[in-house]
């Protein structure tokens, strides 16, 4: 057990802190200023730090503790580091691992600088948990593929210039072997975006959409990796998605505690109610548990060791914890806890109701809780897969 | 940055677990539950030779002066094997008290702990929960009163007894005027008793012992949480193994999602709780200001997930899990009793709130 980061890293922390003190912009930022702020972060190596220079990054060696320190310091300063979007978090790692030289040079830099926004075309109405059964087809025609089909749960499709999409290019191959990973501009004729309103209403943090493809022509050169290897390539990306679902449970708990200190009923703060207080303490234990579990996972990564089953449970536990924290916040506000959409008397701009529903979305998205439990029991505990039903 | 166990700690755990698997299999535990004193002295002597008894005793008194995290790993191993042993009182709480109190006279006791020749019990319940009119008072140099749910006191050579919440007395286990009555619980592997004191002459009285009592409770809570965590670990292992061999409807039951999900939910609680426990135990030595809060949360959280794991892992076994013969109940009961020693979850959470200044008056 050694919880110190060491001298070199503490010096790095000071650097980051000094940079933030000198350069942190005032929120909210106009889009143009946000892009300038991203570029400034790249220039100093606090965003795109380990992306090679020739692709528009800062070109440092990967160092997990530096990443942790940057995240801690940006959190502390209350500003986002880089950009939480599917381009930087999912497409860029995929291109670095599987893209051609030309693809990397063309897309990585603009994606990191926020000049090009991406959305992800994976799920389909008929292919959710069983993603590999996807049916959107891409038929060869000269130098192009012609795409037909429908995608769903496409976050930010309405704001994106590009989509990375899974399509079936080899209709006769087995289901996992017939899929390719392809890049398409969203303004290609034949692509239609329809917003999908979710339960979070106007306060939702994500804009979900359905994307329809009708005879959409995309050059074959836009395939990432080899034809028919899209499943394997997408799995690299999904891994990035799961690891990015790392909730800041302690921060949310502190916010909940502050709410309970000031929210009163009959002149008494919620914290003075033994019933609510017990629930708050129960959640603190869970938040501390996940915080220290995160430190254990970080140590495994630093040592290049697999955390085994201990790593498989993180998403399941964190998402449920977020949902349960929101539930207590809503409960302590009593009849005012249900106010929403900027109603009079609404607390914290409706944050807790939105967070509750958003957390429910996270319990389902990125692999439902039930799929997580299958994975935990099969890969983590060695229980057998459920046998396939006999064909009738 | 290294949040994990060292090579030495892994070796310690492996050694203790290997010894227990070999020397105290469940058949031996079944024999011990019928004994008057479940804390078998010969077994404790063997464990002392492994270094278990003196794990927290300073080197100058013959101990190995390891950390509470090391002790927690031993405690976890004892819980995993449901071993009856006076580890909690004699190897954790008593030496922590004696170390904190310091002074010449404590040295001999620490030496006796490390050698395993003397077993120590502790009676602290009344510092946090008074029932049945219990409480011990010092009156004209002798002790009178009653202490409930004393730990490992039955058959002990010495017992540390709280007088109010800021004094400790050391008494001999065979002192005249002392009656130690076993309080039979659901768990036959842990020894709890009532002390009835009627003019007991103490060996020593320590005034201003609030800090020692507080450190004893912190260490005890963390070690007890570790014991339960080890018991939970074993119950999950047994449930998963059973699910892989038991067949119904022509399939092993572990291939049914209903059963798989039960197992996943248990391990999803256990693994993060292990991380919490490591941190709590580490804080006791390295970050003592955090230890009281972490000890409360570690024990309360383990109690909550423990109740669920004890129940669900039994359910995975179906009817056979409910029989005496299947042995699973030894773990179920060990977890059930640990939930209520040294403060139950609701008490511990209220204490956690107090420690942070959050327990506002209603």
A67 CB neighbours in chain B (<8 A) are none
Domain boundary among B208, B229, B261: B208
Residue A281 lies in a domain: yes
What is the share, in percent, of chain A residues with pLDDT greater than 90? 77
**From B251, which residue of chain A is nearest by alpha-carbon distance?**
A387
pLDDT interval class at A392 (50, 70, 90) = low
Q: Are A263 and A374 in a shared domain?
A: yes
Q: Are A272 and A348 in a shared domain?
A: yes
Average pLDDT, chain B: 97
Assess B349–A contact: CB distance below 8 Å, yes or no: yes
Q: Are A224 and A271 in a shared domain?
A: no
Distance from CA of A36 to the nearest CA of B (A): 34
Residue B361 lies in a domain: no
Residue A265 lies in a domain: yes
- Region B64-90: mean pLDDT is 98
Domain that holds residue B64: 7-119
Count chain A–chain B contacts defined by CB atoms under 8 A. Answer: 163
A282 CB neighbours in chain B (<8 A) are 300, 304, 349
In the structure, how many helices (H) and strands (E) does chain B have?
11, 10
Q: Is the pLDDT of residue B260 over 70?
A: yes
The position carrying tokens 């051609």 is A100
Residue B312 CA to residue B186 CA, distance in Å, equals 19
Domain boundary among A193, A223, A238: A238
Distance from CA of B360 to the nearest CA of A (A): 5
Q: Is the pLDDT of residue B46 over 50?
A: yes
Q: Do B276 and A298 touch (CB under 8 A)?
A: no
Residue A26: predicted pLDDT: 86
Per the confidence metrics, is the pTM higher than 0.90?
yes
Residue A40: predicted pLDDT: 96
Q: Are B98 and B125 in a shared domain?
A: no
Q: Are A60 and A173 in a shared domain?
A: no
Q: Are B183 and B228 in a shared domain?
A: no
**From A385, which residue of chain B is nearest by alpha-carbon distance?**
B255
Q: Do B358 and A285 touch (CB under 8 A)?
A: no
Residue B185: predicted pLDDT: 96
Q: Are A292 and A376 in a shared domain?
A: yes
Q: Are B142 and B251 in a shared domain?
A: no
Residue A247: predicted pLDDT: 57
Q: Cβ(B222)–Cβ(B284) under 8 Å?
A: yes
Residue B180: predicted pLDDT: 97
Residue A388 lies in a domain: no
Check A73, A241, A263, A346 and give the catalytic one: A241
Q: Are A326 and A354 in a shared domain?
A: yes
Assess B354–A contact: CB distance below 8 Å, yes or no: no
Residue B252 CA to residue A314 CA, distance in Å, equals 27
Q: Are A134 and A250 in a shared domain?
A: no
Backbone torsions φ then ψ of A4, nearest 5 degrees = -80, 145
A320 CB neighbours in chain B (<8 A) are none
Per-residue pLDDT tens for B94-126?
999 999 999 888 999 999 999 999 999 999 999
Distance from CA of A311 to the nearest CA of B (A): 9
Residue B362 lies in a domain: no
Domain boundary among B181, B208, B235: B208
Which pairs count as long-range contacts for B4-10, CB under 8 Å and 24+ apart, including other chains? B4/A1, B4/A296, B4/A299, B4/A300, B4/B278, B5/A1, B5/B69, B5/B73, B5/B278, B6/A1, B9/B69, B9/B70, B9/B73
Q: Do B272 and A310 touch (CB under 8 A)?
A: yes
The CATH number that applies at residue B159 is 2.40.110.10
Q: Are B179 and B133 in a shared domain?
A: yes
What is the share, in percent, of chain A residues with pLDDT greater than 70? 96
Residue B48: predicted pLDDT: 96
Per-residue pLDDT tens for A135-169?
999 999 999 999 999 999 998 999 999 999 999 99
pLDDT interval class at B263 (50, 70, 90) = very high
Domain boundary among B64, B88, B119: B119
B5 CB neighbours in chain A (<8 A) are 1
Q: Are B270 and B201 in a shared domain?
A: no
- Region A78-96: mean pLDDT is 90
Q: Is the pLDDT of residue A245 over 50?
A: no
Number of domains within chain B: 3
Domain boundary among A82, A105, A136: A82
> Which residues have C-beta within 8 Å of that of residue B196, sequence separation ≥ 6?
B146, B178, B179, B180, B181
Q: Are B226 and B343 in a shared domain?
A: yes
Number of domains within chain A: 3
Q: Cβ(A150)–Cβ(A125) under 8 Å?
A: yes
A278 CB neighbours in chain B (<8 A) are 346, 349-350
Q: Which among A9, A317, A383 has CB closest to B263? A: A383
Q: Around A8, how many Cα atoms within 13 Å sit in the side-chain half-sphere?
A: 4
3-state secondary structure B189-232: CCCEEEEEEEEECCCEEECCCHHHHHHHHHHHHHHHHHHHHHHH
Q: Are B182 and B230 in a shared domain?
A: no
Q: Which among A277, A290, A382 has CB closest to B358? A: A277
Assess B258–A contact: CB distance below 8 Å, yes or no: no
Per-residue pLDDT tens for B198-256?
999 999 999 999 999 999 999 999 999 999 999 999 999 999 999 999 999 999 999 99
Tokens of A106: 């063309």
**From B270, which residue of chain A is nearest by alpha-carbon distance?**
A310
Q: Are B131 and B201 in a shared domain?
A: yes
The CATH number that applies at residue B14 is 1.10.540.10
A9 CB neighbours in chain B (<8 A) are 1
Q: Do B352 and A281 touch (CB under 8 A)?
A: yes
- Region A186-193: mean pLDDT is 98
Interface of B with A in 283-312 (CB under 8 A): 286, 294, 297, 300-301, 304
- Region A70-86: mean pLDDT is 87
A241 is catalytic: yes
Q: Which among B254, B352, B359 has CB closest to A383? A: B254
Per-residue pLDDT tens for B305-359?
999 999 999 999 999 999 999 999 999 999 999 999 999 999 999 999 999 999 9
Residue B360 lies in a domain: no
Q: Do A381 and B264 touch (CB under 8 A)?
A: yes
Q: Are B221 and B351 in a shared domain?
A: yes
Residue A94 lies in a domain: no
Q: Are B126 and B95 in a shared domain?
A: no
Q: Are B252 and B140 in a shared domain?
A: no
Q: Do B353 and A387 touch (CB under 8 A)?
A: no
Tokens of A234: 């997408």
B360 CB neighbours in chain A (<8 A) are 269, 271-272, 277
Q: Are A280 and A361 in a shared domain?
A: yes
Residue B81 lies in a domain: yes
A314 CB neighbours in chain B (<8 A) are 272
Average pLDDT, chain A: 92
Residue B101 lies in a domain: yes
Domain boundary among A82, A109, A129: A82
The CATH number that applies at residue A250 is 1.20.140.10
Q: Do A296 and B278 touch (CB under 8 A)?
A: yes
Q: Do A290 and B362 touch (CB under 8 A)?
A: no
Q: Is the pLDDT of residue A246 over 60?
A: no
Distance from CA of B46 to the nearest CA of A (A): 29
Residue A357 lies in a domain: yes
Assess B275–A contact: CB distance below 8 Å, yes or no: yes
Q: Are A278 and A329 in a shared domain?
A: yes
Q: Is the pLDDT of residue A132 over 70?
A: yes
Which residues partner with B272 through β-bridges? none
Residue A53: predicted pLDDT: 96
Residue A122 CA to residue A120 CA, distance in Å, equals 6
- Region A51-71: mean pLDDT is 92
What is the share, in percent, of chain B residues with pLDDT greater than 70? 100
- Region A74-97: mean pLDDT is 89
Q: Are A197 and A293 in a shared domain?
A: no
Q: Cβ(B273)–Cβ(B301) under 8 Å?
A: yes
Q: Is the pLDDT of residue A28 over 90?
A: no
Distance from CA of B240 to the nearest CA of A (A): 7
Residue A268 CA to residue B123 CA, distance in Å, equals 38
Residue B22: predicted pLDDT: 97
Assess B343–A contact: CB distance below 8 Å, yes or no: no
Residue A302: predicted pLDDT: 85
CA dihedral A30, A36, A38, A40 (to 10 degrees): -140
**From B305, which residue of chain A is nearest by alpha-carbon distance?**
A286
Q: Are A211 and A165 in a shared domain?
A: yes
Q: Are A162 and A40 in a shared domain?
A: no
Residue A88 lies in a domain: no
Q: Are B215 and B351 in a shared domain?
A: yes
Q: Is the pLDDT of residue A249 over 50?
A: yes
More confident of the two residues B38 and A105: A105
- Cα angle vertex B196, ends B190, B201, to 5°? 110
Residue A113 lies in a domain: no
Q: Which among B263, B275, B301 has CB closest to A377? A: B263
Domain that holds residue A280: 245-380
- Region A268-278: mean pLDDT is 97
Distance from CA of B214 to the nearest CA of A (A): 20
Residue B1 lies in a domain: no
**From A310, which residue of chain B is nearest by alpha-carbon distance?**
B271
Q: Is the pLDDT of residue A241 over 60?
A: no
Q: Cβ(A193)–Cβ(A152) under 8 Å?
A: no
Residue A66 lies in a domain: yes
């Amino acid at each position: 057990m050694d919880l110190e980061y060491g001298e070199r890293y503490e010096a790095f922390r000071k650097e980051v802190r000094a940079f933030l003190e000198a350069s942190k912009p005032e929120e909210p930022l106009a889009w143009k200023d946000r892009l300038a702020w991203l570029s400034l972060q790249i220039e100093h190596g606090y965003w795109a730090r380990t992306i090679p220079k020739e692709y528009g990054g800062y070109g440092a060696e990967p160092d997990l503790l530096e990443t942790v320190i940057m995240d801690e310091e940006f959190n502390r300063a209350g500003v986002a580091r880089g950009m939480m979007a599917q381009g930087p978090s999912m497409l860029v790692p995929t291109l670095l691992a599987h893209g051609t030289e030309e693809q990397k040079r063309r897309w990585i830099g603009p994606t990191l600088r926020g000049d090009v926004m991406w959305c992800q075309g994976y799920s389909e109405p008929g292919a959710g948990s069983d993603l590999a059964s996807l049916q959107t087809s891409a038929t060869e025609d000269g130098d192009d593929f012609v795409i037909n089909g429908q995608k769903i749960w496409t976050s930010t499709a309405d704001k994106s210039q590009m989509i990375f999409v899974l399509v079936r290019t080899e209709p006769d191959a087995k289901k996992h072997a017939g899929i390719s990973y392809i890049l398409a501009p969203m303004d290609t004729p034949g692509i239609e975006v329809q917003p999908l309103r979710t339960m979070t209403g106007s306060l939702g943090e994500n804009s979900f959409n359905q994307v329809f493809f009708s005879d959409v022509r995309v050059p074959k050169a836009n395939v990432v990796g080899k034809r028919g290897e899209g499943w394997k390539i997408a799995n690299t990306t999904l891994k990035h998605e799961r690891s990015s679902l790392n909730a800041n449970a302690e921060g949310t708990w502190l916010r909940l505690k502050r709410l309970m200190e000031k929210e009163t009923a009959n002149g008494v703060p919620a914290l003075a109610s033994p019933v609510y207080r017990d629930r708050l303490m129960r959640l603190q234990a869970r938040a501390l548990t996940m915080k220290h579990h995160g430190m254990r996972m970080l140590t495994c990564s630093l040592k290049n060791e697999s955390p085994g089953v201990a790593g498989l449970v993180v998403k399941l536990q964190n998402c449920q914890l977020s949902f349960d924290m929101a539930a207590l916040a809503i409960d302590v506000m009593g009849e005012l806890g249900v106010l929403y959409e900027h109603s009079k008397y609404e607390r914290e701009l409706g944050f807790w109701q939105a967070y509750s529903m958003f957390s429910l979305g996270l319990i389902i998205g990125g692999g439902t809780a039930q799929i997580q439990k299958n994975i935990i029991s099969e890969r983590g505990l060695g229980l057998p897969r459920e046998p396939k039903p006999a064909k009738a | 940055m290294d949040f994990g166990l060292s090579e030495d700690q892994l070796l310690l755990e492996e050694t203790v677990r290997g010894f227990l698997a070999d020397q105290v299999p469940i058949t031996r535990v079944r024999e011990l539950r019928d004994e008057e004193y479940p804390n078998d002295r010969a077994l404790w002597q063997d464990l002392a030779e492994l270094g278990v008894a003196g794990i927290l005793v300073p080197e100058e008194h013959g101990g190995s002066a390891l950390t509470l995290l090391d002790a927690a790993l031993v405690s976890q191993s004892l819980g995993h094997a449901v071993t009856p042993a006076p580890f909690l009182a004699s190897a954790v709480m008593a030496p922590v008290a004696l170390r904190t109190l310091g002074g010449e006279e404590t040295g001999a006791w620490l030496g006796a702990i490390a050698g395993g020749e003397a077993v120590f019990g502790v009676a602290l319940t009344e510092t946090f929960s008074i029932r049945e009119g219990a409480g011990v008072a010092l009156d004209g140099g002798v002790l009178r009163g009653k202490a409930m749910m004393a730990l490992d006191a039955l058959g002990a050579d010495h017992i540390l007894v709280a007088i109010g919440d800021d004094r400790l007395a050391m008494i001999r286990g065979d002192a005249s005027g002392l009656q130690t009555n076993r309080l039979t619980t659901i768990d036959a592997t842990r020894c709890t008793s009532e002390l009835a004191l009627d003019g007991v002459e103490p060996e020593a009285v320590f005034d201003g012992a609030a800090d020692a009592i507080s450190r004893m409770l912190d260490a005890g809570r963390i070690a007890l949480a570790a014991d339960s965590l080890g018991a939970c670990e074993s119950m999950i292992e047994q449930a998963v193994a059973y699910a892989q061999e038991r067949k119904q409807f022509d399939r092993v039951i572990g291939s049914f999602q209903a059963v798989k999900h039960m197992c996943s939910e248990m391990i999803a609680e256990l693994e993060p709780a292990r991380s919490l426990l490591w941190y709590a135990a580490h804080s006791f030595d390295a970050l003592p200001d955090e230890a009281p809060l972490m000890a409360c949360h570690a024990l309360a959280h383990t109690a909550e997930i423990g109740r669920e794991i004890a129940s669900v892992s039994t359910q995975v076994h179906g009817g056979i899990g409910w029989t005496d013969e299947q042995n699973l109940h030894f773990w179920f009961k060990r977890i059930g009793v640990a939930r209520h020693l040294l403060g139950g979850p609701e008490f511990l959470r209220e204490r956690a709130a107090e420690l942070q200044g959050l327990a506002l008056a209603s």
